[in-house]
Structure 1
Amino acid sequence: MTIKVLVAYATKNWSTAEIARTISEVLCKEGLEAELRRMPDVGDVLAYDAFVLGSALYAGRWHKDARRFVRRSARALAGTPVWLFSSGPLDASAAERDIPPVPAVRRALIRLDAREHVTFGGCLKEGAKGRVARMIIRTGQGGDFRDFEQITTWAQHIGATLRGESTARQEGP
């Protein structure tokens, strides 16, 4: 049985989409069927066996599309494996230590009964949308702080977990 995983993301400047794409590609290499979608483009969630949901952090909050998705889909996701990720710190802190989820993401963890949350470094480059983003870049605080080795390792962990659970179900008691 093939395990179908939805990797859905919310982003403004597309760096979170690149993280989600990496996760999706790793899950496919792990033998799962991963589908990558922007959260506003997700239709029926009942077609999936597991979910990896991620959003960029803006002023300590998930993108509005992610917040809406959680509200809209929480009931339908009940009982399915869910992992959450955030991207945001514009420094090396996410690669150096575990960063706890911001309060709204902590509530989403509980609401979705998610298995895990991780915060990855963010990326803000020249041409980013938004007044605050442009100001951050102008002051020299932008850059790319994503650690794709860390992202790959986390996605491999998810793949191994889902494959292990699938094998256990097939073998039975």
Structure 2
Amino acid sequence: MTANILVAYGTKNGSTARIAESVADVLGKEGLTAEALPAAGVRDVTAYDAVVVGGALYAGRWHRDARRFLQRNRRALAERPLWLFSSGPLDASASERDIPPVPAVRRAMARLDAREHITFGGCLEEGAKGRLARMIIRNGKGGDFRDFARIEEWAAHVAGELTARHEQR
């Protein structure tokens, strides 16, 4: 199978980019062609057979670049398989239970008929941009809560769905 998959992401400090790259790597290992790109730089998704979009969560909102990407590409995204992920909780909660999408993501899922959404833990470490981020780190609430085994498991699940879909054609 040679499906071409885009993994677009919105990130402020690079944590969500690393998750997107991991998803793209797993998709590639599963026999798909995948690339991870910043959502702000992608203007056209018509060259892709499926799309995964990830956004960092800040104060209960999905990253602006991810939201704008969905809006800008809404017609094309509605015509192809779409998965969404969020990253952000700065604790182990995302590995312990399913965290539902924030309201804007839930609405986008319905509008675009997205297959699935998952929330992964976030990462906020020394050197992060933003006054609030620096304050969180100063108060000892930062850290890396990304669970790469879970991320890779989810990406393999997405690859399995894409492979099954392609074989049904």
Question: How many aligned residue pairs are there?
Answer: 169
**Counterpart for residue 68 of structure 1:** 68
Structure 2: gaps spanning 5 or more residues: none
**Counterpart for residue 158 of structure 2:** 158
Greater Cα shift, 130-139 or 73-82: 73-82
**Counterpart for residue 117 of structure 1:** 117
SS of aligned partner of 2:126: coil
**Counterpart for residue 167 of structure 1:** 167
TM-score of the aligned structures, taking structure 2 as reference length: 0.98
Alignment of 1:10-159 (within 5 A): 10-159=10-159
Could you report, residue by residue, the CA deviation over 1:91-137 in whole angstroms, capped at 9, with x for unpaired residues? 00000000000111101111211000000000000000000000000
Question: Over the residues paired in the alignment, what is the CA RMSD in angstroms?
Answer: 0.7
Distance 2:48 2:29 in 1: 18
Residue 51 (structure 1) shift: 0.4
Query: Identity across aligned pairs (percent)?
Result: 67
Distance 2:152 2:87 in 1: 14
Greater Cα shift, 140-149 or 76-85: 76-85
Structure 1 runs of 4+ with >3 Å offset? none
TM-score of the aligned structures, taking structure 1 as reference length: 0.96
SS of aligned partner of 1:140: coil
SS of aligned partner of 2:65: helix
Structure 1: gaps spanning 5 or more residues: none
